[in-house]
Amino acid sequence: MSAVGRYLEEFGIPTVQISLIREHTVVFNPPRALWVPFMLGRPYGAPTNTVFQKRVLQEALRLLEHDREPIIQDFTDDAPPDQLGYDDQQLVCPVSFPSQSKVGTLRERVISEVGQLKAWHQVSTQARNRTTLGVTGASPERLADFVTSWLGANAEQILYTPDQPAAVSLKFATDELKSFYFESKLAQPGQHSAKSVQDWFWFETSGGEALLALRAKLAAEGDPAFKGLATLSMVPRVVLDALTRH
């Protein structure tokens, strides 16, 4: 979209874009961009919440009033809580979740955690009548197994397409694994905002712990493809900032 924006600007057509990954926007440096701290796939924050979506759109369009360019502006508010459309009191927990422990290796804990979350993900898919999973064609357990293999010495190189670069396979797998966790959490009773779900994943789950460890490992890689994955898209900037502060 940044490249399209620059192309249109050359013909005198002002452009503005909404960014979900600030690091990418900084690199491509589009004429005008509004960065929003929402989940991937939700540039306007909350489904069906037209009032909040209008706020995001209006703030993006206001960037067209700026004479200075390029400009990247941050949208400071979190998205409102997600509503699945059912009463929390009517829900019955489909599985019991023990408190997170450090028993077993990190890989074992992630795979076990994914198995426990599958029932919640099924509830989420049924309530929303959709899921963002499916790009790789791999099951959640397979995604967890593939991603965590990269924490050891014998990393699997290919997930589902033989001629696909390993870094691309890993990116698709990590993106889908995060989506699985996020969708599972949103199905649980309670009020969930993008920030609360994000904080839960990165600071309370073994899945988040694994991706943080993987990011640190890949950032030290000599291969630019893996280093780019680690530094640009695997972990959100707001999470890295929070970790730095603590």
Per-residue pLDDT of the chain (246 residues; tens, 9 = 90+): 666 777 788 888 888 999 887 777 887 888 889 988 877 677 888 777 889 899 999 999 999 988 777 888 998 887 776 654 444 444 444 444 444 557 789 999 999 999 999 999 998 888 878 888 888 889 999 999 999 999 987 787 777 777 888 888 899 999 999 999 999 998 888 777 777 888 899 999 999 999 999 999 988 877 888 888 887 778 887 788 888 876
Are 112 and 194 part of one and the same domain? yes
Are 195 and 138 part of one and the same domain? yes
Are 96 and 27 part of one and the same domain? no
- Tell me what pLDDT residue 162 has: 75
Q: What is the value of pTM for the model shown?
A: 0.68
**Residue 206 domain-assigned (yes or no):** yes
Are 157 and 236 part of one and the same domain? yes
Are 128 and 201 part of one and the same domain? yes
- Tell me what pLDDT residue 97 has: 44
Are 141 and 183 part of one and the same domain? yes
**Residue 106 domain-assigned (yes or no):** yes
Classify strands 71-74 and 17-19 as parallel, antiparallel or unpaired. Answer: unpaired
| Alpha helices per DSSP H over the chain | 2-10, 22-28, 50-62, 106-128, 140-149, 166-186, 194-204, 206-219, 224-232, 237-245
Lookup: tokens for 132: 């963002």
**Residue 79 domain-assigned (yes or no):** no
**Residue 127 domain-assigned (yes or no):** yes
Query: Is residue 141 within 8 Å of 107, Cβ to Cβ?
Result: no
Q: How many domains does the chain have?
A: 2
**Residue 80 domain-assigned (yes or no):** no
**Residue 139 domain-assigned (yes or no):** yes
Helix 194-204 × helix 206-219 angle, to 10°: 70
Are 22 and 128 part of one and the same domain? no
**Residue 83 domain-assigned (yes or no):** no
Are 198 and 129 part of one and the same domain? yes
- Tell me what pLDDT residue 101 has: 56
Are 66 and 153 part of one and the same domain? no
Are 159 and 112 part of one and the same domain? yes
Are 41 and 156 part of one and the same domain? no
- Tell me what pLDDT residue 76 has: 82
Residue 197 belongs to domain spanning? 88-245
> Any residues with CB less than 8 A from the CB of 236 and at least 6 apart, and which?
21, 37, 198, 202
For residues 77 and 80, what is the distance between their CA atoms, to the nearest angstrom?
9
Are 135 and 43 part of one and the same domain? no
For 126, counting Cβ atoms within 10 Å of its Cβ (0-12 exposed, 13-18 middle, 19+ buried), the class is exposed
- Tell me what pLDDT residue 99 has: 45
Amino acid at 178: K
- Tell me what pLDDT residue 206 has: 95
